[in-house]
Amino acid sequence: MHDSVSQAVRVTVTAPARLHLGFFDLNGGLGRRFGSVGLALSELKTRLTIRKTKTTEVAGPESDRVRRVLDATVALLALDSGHSVKIAEIVPAHSGLGSGTQLALAVAGAIRRLHGRPLDVEGDALRLGRGARSGIGIGLFHHGGLLVDGGRGDEPRPAPIISRLPFPDRWRVLVILDPTRRGLHGAEETSAFAALPRMPEADAARMCRLILMKALPALADHDITNFGAAIKELQMFIGDYFAQAQGGLRFSSPAVAAVLDTLDRAGAYGIGQSSWGPTGFAFAPSPDDALRLATIAREDPSSQSLDIRICRGLNRGAEIVAKSQCVGE
């Protein structure tokens, strides 16, 4: 008689891109700093498959970047086998869509599942240098939807997720990408945050109130008018606050800024920039409205170098799928 156990032979992870809709407390007077709101996207994603091999091979877009994350993960888990990685899709790097966090968590999750290790999303994020400020990318890998994190304290752990709401199925998100530009990242991003003035307490209080008393209740009520108004006000304030690090610009890509202005005048809701950009976004109340607005945006003279997409919110986290075989013992 032979018992058999299921052993993963390859693991595929699909992780969503995310919009970072803004920080709301850069004062820190209550012991926590940053605090942020973000949304998982359905049509922009990172998808990769990993299996064990004798030697390590990485194929697909941004393979060097993936290889660095893979090597770091293997070293952290003290593994001795090689791995083959095939990258089918990847969120563009340094575009404000959380690509680094989703890539790190996708690789770590796949490696852990492949080797029968328990998932440790928060721990791997910290060990791989993610979640230094916002906890949104980590939370969205877990849960999807629209999340709010409570900011970073002094503890060596990610900012806690304090709210999650589903994004309405009918609403759409216009995502405006600028492939010719990159947002601040790495040492430049760290320096930019260090140089920012401390946010006045009254402004932080206003931003927190906008999220708690306007954006979240409006989302729960499927009220895109007030949701969009709250996000737009947050974005205008944060954009002006970050302008000194963006060459005096509210939004880092002039082309994206011009298209956002066009969308705002055409009736879009909640225009803004995700993280340091250059990616911009706006909301529409229905698929038909999204198509109308996307057509207007693509006809704008500033849009020639841009990639304008219609996306949905994603109300689930990353998918980790293992292909297994039975091994006799």
The answer, yes or no, to whether residue 2 has pLDDT greater than 50, is no
* pTM of the complete model beyond 0.85: yes
Residue 49 corresponds to which tokens in the numbers above? 């498959």
Q: What is the pLDDT of residues 257-274, one digit of tens each?
A: 999 999 999 999 999 999
> 329 pLDDT band (50/70/90 cuts)?
very low
Q: What is the average pLDDT across 210-232? A: 98
Angle between helices 99-114 and 63-76 (to 10 degrees): 50
pLDDT-based confidence at residue 325 (cuts at 50, 70, 90): low
Query: What is the structure's pLDDT at 5?
Result: 40
Domains and CATH numbers, the chain: 1-165+314-329 (3.30.230.10), 168-312 (3.30.70.890)
Q: What DSSP string runs through 25-85?
A: E---TTS-BEEEEEEEEEEEEEEEEEEEESS-EEESTTHHHHHHHHHHHHHHTT--SEEEE
Q: What's the pLDDT band for 308 if we cut at 50, 70, 90?
A: very high
